[in-house]
Structure 1
Amino acid sequence: MRNKYRNTDSSIKAGDLILTEQPFAFVLSSKEQGSRCDNCLEKGKVLKCSGCQFVYYCGRSCQRDAWGDHKWECANFKRVAPKVLPDGARMLAKIINRLYRGDGHSFRSFYSGTSFRMWKDLMSHYSDLKADTKRMDHFTTLCVVLYEFLKDISLPNTVELMGLYGRMVINSFMILDIDMNSIGTGIYLASSILDHSCDPNAVAIFDGKTINIRAIKDMPCLDWNQMRISYIDLMKTPYDRQTELLQNYYFLCQCDRCIDENQIKHVHGAICLNKQCNEPVSIPWKEDCLLARRPEKTEVNEPSNSRPEKIEENSTDLDKIEENGVDEKDTLHCKECGTKYTEKHVDVFVKTMEFTHVHLQNMERASVAYVDVCQYCLDRQEGVLHPLNVMHAQTLDHAFDALIQVQLWEKACVYAEKLIPCFKFYYGDRNPLLGLLHLKYGKILLFKMEIEKALAQLKSAEKIIKMTHGDRHPLYKEQLLPLLQQAIMES
């Protein structure tokens, strides 16, 4: 299937599909094996490959379609069994196979009638990788696995292999399912032209292994130099986002949202003791608590929408902003209404932030949220943390998902109502995660027969999901529309 792309001479409206692309190489996550097809990535009944007993397909059609890519690895899987190949090693093996035994070096992936990307156009960040101890350890581990797995092909030398590895880890997309959960990894050559912004004007949505890039803002024309998607989860402090991008992509993000004082003052804000005041109050809760990074000021300022400057991760010329750039005296009262904070209030805030921070880290490591832990955290946060405080928002998010899992609908509705403003603040009004939140909330309300509220939430979901996914995506056609029609009929 060839790429589909938008004419660059025409104006762009929010919701326009600007690129559809198949992967250059992809792998299904090992945690999904046995529940999803290794070719189309659809969830359902699957059958194991009789040759390698490692991959699964939903039927003969997908098995035939995948055979050209799978036949070389099938024999290798069988030979190394019962050892299991890690996802990263399998992805790198697929890339090597396509480059050295297929069309990989000559393959062109078009994003306009005349413009395309090839494998050699991808950045490898070779020097950055060599200085990255964690990634070099990972690379060394993959090399050991690959030398054992790929007995039937001469591997490139170490320098070339590291270049391939660099292009893979820097340019990979997480393939997301209908609920925006990661189910695999793919290399999309044309789509890799898109740079990052924490305030993106486009979004990458997946339908199986197909990536669709859609605009979420109006533009006078399609200028690929100005198109931005988000590489990371945005519900974090600017400092945490910038750190993640430095560690994974080797650049310092300087987009408007990362230096926006309004966001910086909210992310770790305390609630004002004056109930009539909505202003967040900045209170330091730990030493060297950094909320954003800025490079040294230069005489000529770069435009806010320029490409992110590539810098070394260990660069020292960063001006670090500590707790909204205010001194200790200023943090003890609300700047808006002047309400003062006592040492007791400050102590309660500090302990609440520390307590929440520990439990959020534990839940992140466990990859599962616990209802009782979330409830305890939220009880402590009540009347202490600002409603848009990022730790409060993250706790609400964990709690909402956990409550859905255990089907505690009443409490889930309470948290969804509080979570919507947080999603709008951190993700923006046109993010697919916000649309998905409205959809889940609307579905719960419809189940509870609160029809008018359900209809309002589902209409909000439709407005966003039709823009981010399009009206042919399964999320829109098979999940949202039936619920919306049911709500309209019930009302």
Structure 2
Amino acid sequence: MKNKFRNSESTIKAGDIILTEQPFVYVLSSKEKGIRCDNCLERGKVLKCSGCQFVHYCGRSCQKDAWVDHKWECANLKKVAPKVIPDAARMLAKIINKLCRGDGYSYRAFYSATSFRMWKDLMSHYPDLKADAKRMEHFTSLYEVLFEFLKDLSLPNNVELMGLYGRMIINSFTLLDNDMNSIGTAIYLASSIVDHSCNPNAVATFDGKTINIRAITDMPYLDWNQIRISYIDLMKTPYERQTELLENYYFLCQCDRCMDETQLKMVHGAKCLNSECNNSVTIPWKADCSLVRRPEERFENGHEFNARCNIVDALPRDDSIRCGECGTKFTDKHIEIFVKTMEFTELHLQNMKGASVAYVDVCKYCLERQEGVLHPLNVMHAQTLDHAFDALIMVQLWEKACEYAERLIPCFRFYYGERHPLLGLLYLKYGKILLYKRNLQKALLQLKCAEKIIKITHGDKHPLYREYLLPLLGQAMIESS
């Protein structure tokens, strides 16, 4: 297991790799079972392990490479068959095995020439776990599975096992494929040094099970105390992002982006009634509609925030609602339309969350109601466009997909920033559709935009860049000349 790191004294440019690392432990998602190789994570033809009949490999080389780690698991999976072990239980079992039988306790993952992380350096948040009823219920269910699964290993005592569980859930990375879809979970010891920001200066991308941390801004030198990636999806309100981070990582984010007044104004904004004004107007649309959390207390050391916080409602309370730029007044009728549109959109976004079917008609109806009512950068409008774009691709309605992609790009740039993998992927998908539709000049423009971003976020050696983007870009250049 080797990792590569950047010299901390050299100048860092956007696109530079600052850390490359192999996982300490990892698990392919059960939903990818039989579709991807459990070793290299490549999608394609795979064959079952002849022993456990549970894991799959793309060939003898991967099976041989995985055998050292899979040998103990193979026998245990065979014993409990046909029961299916949950992904989290498999992950925790792999951690226990590595710590008990291998070099797990002594292994050092370097992120500089002299600095490294070990398993014991990962935070477990034990007190937070004890107070989290949902997590405790999950832990109890995993304990019962492990008790049956690990017949050949002694389980740690309850306190130690909860410490392992805490380190696992707090420090896990979601493995992503080229389309930024989740395909598994992994723990990287060195990469766990990187903290979160909703306005990151670095990004984590994956080439199979290898993680690459790349800078997306120029830096005079590498300071690990200042490197930030995003732990979560950013196309949400600051309050939603803060809540997700509190619930999953037990800290209150107060980055500049969460506190940014411009974003607070946009996320639930109405479109100004004046067609010549592009301003976002804030209108109260439901009780206690909080847009941001602000801390009430600090711990004595002044560095961490108490999870208790004062929830600030950023919406105005006066009866007269006017545009702050042009002064256009909203009547009660206009306010009622806005409120009903937001309620309608919120309901359908909840229904679409996590669904695998294409809600083309629902998205179209939502967007029709939003037209002229919600500001183009309103987060609910952006999320609806995102759902609609994916749904239209699924059912191959290319013309409408192009229309929505044009409207979605400014939303992605606002919520994700100018150098984010999802923005690069959006340009890539849009360019591919335009190329198929023979709109060659526009396709070339979008693919060039994708190339600028993906070269920074993934690098020119990544399969997404080399095997997928470059052929499309070359085809567009040849056919448009």
Question: What TM-score do the two structures reach when normalised by structure 2?
Answer: 0.98
CA contact (8 A) 1:284 1:323 kept: no
Q: Which residue of 1 aligns with 2:458?
A: 469
Displacement, 1:367?
4.4
Asked if 1:349 is matched to 2:344, the reply is no
Q: Which residue of 2 aligns with 1:311?
A: 306
2:418 to 411, 425, 429: 429
Show structure 1 runs of 4+ deviating over 4 A: none
Displacement, 1:319?
3.1
Displacement, 1:417?
0.1
Displacement, 1:483?
0.5
Map residues 77-88 of structure 1 onto 2, 5 A cutoff: 77-88=77-88
Question: What TM-score do the two structures reach when normalised by structure 1?
Answer: 0.96
CA contact (8 A) 2:198 2:230 kept: yes
CA contact (8 A) 2:295 2:305 kept: no
Aligned-partner residue type, residue 327 of structure 1: R
Q: Which residue of 2 aligns with 1:420?
A: 409
Q: Which residue of 2 aligns with 1:196?
A: 196
CA contact (8 A) 1:9 1:222 kept: yes
CA contact (8 A) 1:396 1:419 kept: yes
Q: Which residue of 1 aligns with 2:164?
A: 164
Displacement, 1:2?
1.3
CA contact (8 A) 1:270 1:281 kept: yes
Deviations 1:32-90 (A, max 9, x none): 00000000000000000110010000000000000010010111111101100000000
> Following the alignment from structure 1 to structure 2, what is the Cα–Cα distance between the partners of residues 157 and 202?
38
Asked if 1:26 is matched to 2:26, the reply is yes
Displacement, 1:369?
3.9
Q: Which residue of 1 aligns with 2:437?
A: 448
2:382 to 393, 400, 421: 393
Aligned-partner residue type, residue 427 of structure 2: H
Deviations 1:379-399 (A, max 9, x none): 111111000000000000000
> Following the alignment from structure 1 to structure 2, what is the Cα–Cα distance between the partners of residues 368 and 87?
24
Deviations 1:157-194 (A, max 9, x none): 00000000000000000000000000000000000000
Q: What number of residue pairs does the alignment pair up? A: 479
Asked if 1:115 is matched to 2:115, the reply is yes
1:328 to 318, 323, 329: 318
What SS does the aligned partner of 1:151 have?
Answer: coil
Map residues 235-254 of structure 1 onto 2, 5 A cutoff: 235-254=235-254
> Following the alignment from structure 1 to structure 2, what is the Cα–Cα distance between the partners of residues 206 and 260?
30
Displacement, 1:368?
4.1
What SS does the aligned partner of 1:257 have?
Answer: coil
Q: Which residue of 2 aligns with 1:373?
A: 362
Map residues 106-185 of structure 1 onto 2, 5 A cutoff: 106-185=106-185
> Following the alignment from structure 1 to structure 2, what is the Cα–Cα distance between the partners of residues 353 and 166?
38
CA contact (8 A) 2:271 2:375 kept: yes
- Identity level (%): 76
What SS does the aligned partner of 1:252 have?
Answer: coil
CA contact (8 A) 2:272 2:279 kept: yes
CA contact (8 A) 2:14 2:217 kept: yes
Displacement, 1:311?
3.0
Q: Which residue of 2 aligns with 1:43?
A: 43
Aligned-partner residue type, residue 410 of structure 1: E
Q: Provide the alpha-carbon RMSD of the alignment.
A: 1.4
What SS does the aligned partner of 2:389 have?
Answer: helix
- Show structure 1 runs of 5+ residues with no match: none
> Following the alignment from structure 2 to structure 1, what is the Cα–Cα distance between the partners of residues 112 and 357?
42
CA contact (8 A) 2:358 2:394 kept: no
Q: Which residue of 2 aligns with 1:273?
A: 273
Deviations 1:232-281 (A, max 9, x none): 00000000000000000000000000000000000000000001111111
What SS does the aligned partner of 1:311 have?
Answer: coil
Aligned-partner residue type, residue 217 of structure 1: T
